[in-house]
Amino acid sequence: MRVCTKGKILFTCSVLLILYNCSALSEQPLQSKDGKYYFISLKDFTQQEVKGIGFTLAEDMDVSVDAVGGGSKNVWSDLFDDSKGASSMYAGAWIINADTRALVWEMTMRNTNGKDTHREFNGTLSMKKGSYEVYFSAYGFVRSSTFNYSSINIDRRKTQNTGSRPKWFTWFGGEKSMVDEFMEYAKDSWYVTLSAADDRKAAVQIFNAPKKFSNIVFSGTGLGDNAFLKKRITLTQDVPIKIYAIGEGRGRNSVFDYGWLTNEETRERVWEMTSKNTVYAGGSEKNIEFNGTVLLKKGNYELSFVTDDSHSRDDWNATPPYDPFNYGITLSVENESNIKDVRISDYSNEGKNIIIRLTKVRNDEDVSAGFSLKADSKIRIYALGEGNASNRELADYGWITNAKTHKRVWTMEYTTTRHAGGASKNRMVDEIISLPKGDYIVNYQTDDSHAYGDWNSDAPYDPDSWGITLYGAGDNFSMNNVATFNVENEANIVAQLIKVRDDKNVQQPFSLSVAQKVRIYALGEADGDREMADYGWIEDAKTGKTIWEMTYGMTERAGGARKNRLVDRTLYLDKGEYILHYRTDDSHAYGDWNDDPPEDRIHWGITIYKE
């Protein structure tokens, strides 16, 4: 007997084909016995969690279903299988309509009888002419009694590679592995067979499940754990796109395995799979489904679909959806003539027009980089960080500063972020802004936990991009208008003492050949008595007299801790020789903050610019 096992992904034109544990036609017995024609038999689930096969009825007929599975009536079973309705089956069969993908019949605790490990269904279904698919799933195991309840998920990837198996103590039998017991039932006890009257066999045909949709332009199905599918869709004209997607979600605004479409030019999500636009997909309550049509305008789009680290075609940790082999997303068109208007390709724009990339940022890091724009430009910002929903603030985030004015021109705010997959605190922005020509500094900071390489909760679906990346956007953008900018090479600097660390007393002489107005930009620290602990001043080199000093009264908040202070003002200086000074105490300075740092850490110190 031939069995199609999980294999490599094959790309054919624009369609993604995934070979996965399908029940080959030659497995089927196709035999007559006792006046019945047995055309489907699914059994032995020791190696495969789900098996399925399709059948077509050329005419209305009665189909006999004989099946044995497992299920628990124990009140604690809700902790193990959160399936809707009467079904608490951890091993059982069901039938769906192959064209509509709707449920036709399933084994439940109500329509089966027998003990937990041997729930039996014997019945006849009056079925209309058409195509159907039958599935059997055995994903877990339960042992229960008056005083005990034990449940496990059978992850075949682990049971095949480890000798450690959950044990169960029985009063008379001692310890016995639940996995071993499950495997005994999965091999010899659980099954489903379909049969019809022997004189109707000519009206029955078998096909491999799932039945293909008409006019498919892309299929990304059979997705496993931690998948991140990304494709580019190019439309040569407006086209209605039919989307059929199955994923995982729970409760309001909580989706874990889901997809979305992004307009490549505007970064707007034109469609997204959410808890509000999906319906129950069968099996476990967390299985969700979107089945609808979206009108896409002529242009380029990004298709994305992500999964988290559990409950997928790799291993279902609860009852799988009714249509398990289509887990993922399928795009099709209603009219065959529109197929030529849709082109699917690998997404290749990630490495194009990169201006700044500060990614894979780890805990307690503060990174920055500068760039110059020689012309007004559109910029795409793609940033991932950590946020807190309760206070709607970000712990890991980025921002962009105008290097001349030191004012922020863009900041990653919690209210404009989306869920980035994994833990709910993983947040992302993907938007386009316009920046005038000039010099800019990109900054990104993290706190002491949950960053690249050291996640304290589930990682985002794109962990390598933790940080911030800037791309040039728009048809008119040219990398020829981008240059590197170094903060130490700022224009119009008269004197500068920056990135000053703890316990420093630094100075720099400077001179003015003519009397002029200058701009003083300084950051420092104030103590609890509103006295400056880190501050700067200007001294007349000839007389030693202090002609200007940074005091608390002239400062404003510099972001971060309240003690971070900022002064930005102009001063008229006569022609002459001067000395610029800056002093820090033994704590809270550049590179060693004992509280939240300021927004502009690089300029901790003092700078004098020509005004």
Three-class HEC string of 411-475: ECCHHHCEECCCCCCEEEEEEEEEECCEEEEEEEECCCCCECCECCCCCCCCHHHEEEEEEEECC
Please state, in angstroms and rounded to a whole number, the distance separating the CA atoms of residues 46 and 114: 22
Q: Which of 134, 313, 266, 310 is nearest to 207 (CA)?
A: 134
Mean predicted confidence (pLDDT) in 396-410: 94
Query: CA 476, CA 466: separation in Å to the nearest integer?
Result: 28
Tell me how far CA of residue 306 lies from CA of 7, 224, 291, 316, 417, in angstroms.
20, 10, 17, 16, 17
Bridge partners, residue 509, by sequence = 579
pTM higher than 0.85 for the full model? no
- CA-based nearest residue to 539, from 563, 506, 490: 506
Q: Using the structure block, give the residue that is written with the tokens 């269904």.
A: 121
Taking residues 563-584, report their average pLDDT. Answer: 97
Please give the average per-residue pLDDT across 210-214, as a whole number: 96
User: How many whole angstroms separate alpha carbon 394 and alpha carbon 387?
Assistant: 4
Distances (CA, A) of 99 to 209, 221, 344, 549: 11, 17, 25, 80
Dihedral of CA 350/356/360/363: which sign? negative
Mean pLDDT, rounded, for 266-294 = 95
In whole angstroms, give the CA distance from residue 106 to residue 97. Answer: 12
What digits encode the pLDDT tens for the residues 131-142?
999 999 999 998
Task: Indicate if the pLDDT at residue 174 is higher than 70.
Answer: no
Band of the pLDDT at 488, cuts 50, 70, 90?
Answer: confident
Which pLDDT tens digit goes with each residue over 513-553? 999 999 999 999 999 889 999 999 999 999 999 999 999 99
pLDDT above 70 as % of the chain: 88
End-to-end Cα spacing for the chain: 85
Q: What angle do CA 328, 330, 336 make, to 5 degrees?
A: 175
What distance in Å separates the CA atoms of residue 593 and residue 330, rounded to the nearest whole number?
A: 51
Q: Is the pLDDT of residue 90 over 70?
A: yes
* Stronger pLDDT, 316 or 174, i.e. the higher one: 316
Q: What is the pLDDT of residue 81?
A: 46
Q: For residue 72, what pLDDT is reported?
A: 84
Question: What's the confidence (pLDDT) of residue 147?
Answer: 63
Q: What angle do CA 254, 257, 258 make, to 5 degrees?
A: 85
pLDDT of residue 142: 87
pLDDT of 441 higher than 70: yes
pLDDT digits (tens, 9 = 90+) for 348-387: 666 789 999 999 999 999 899 999 999 999 999 999 999 9
Which domains can be identified in the chain, with CATH numbers? 21-207 (no CATH), 216-346 (2.60.120), 350-487 (2.60.120.380), 492-610 (2.60.120)
Band (pLDDT 50/70/90 cuts) for residue 317 is: very high
CA distances for 42 relative to 54, 119, 126, 148, angstroms: 12, 16, 21, 32
Task: Please give the average per-residue pLDDT across 152-166, as a whole number.
Answer: 70
pLDDT class of 440 with cuts at 50, 70, 90: very high
Segment 293-316 mean pLDDT: 95
Ramachandran quadrant class, 275 (left: phi over 0; alpha: psi -120 to 50; beta: rest): alpha
Closest CA to 603 of 509, 517, 487: 487
Confidence band, pLDDT 50/70/90 cuts, at residue 22:
very low
Whether 115 has a pLDDT exceeding 70, the answer reads yes
Indicate the SS3 state at residue 378: strand
Which of 76-80, 238-242, 274-278, 416-420 comes out lowest in average pLDDT? 76-80
Asked whether the predicted pLDDT for residue 445 surpasses 50, the reply is: yes
Section 312-318 average pLDDT: 95
Mean residue pLDDT across the chain: 89
pLDDT exceeds cutoff 90 at 14: no
pLDDT in tens, 23-53: 444 355 567 777 899 999 999 999 999 999 9
The pLDDT, as a whole number, for residue 385 is: 98
Position with higher pLDDT, 488 vs 349: 488
Alpha helix locations (H) across 170-284? Answer: 178-188
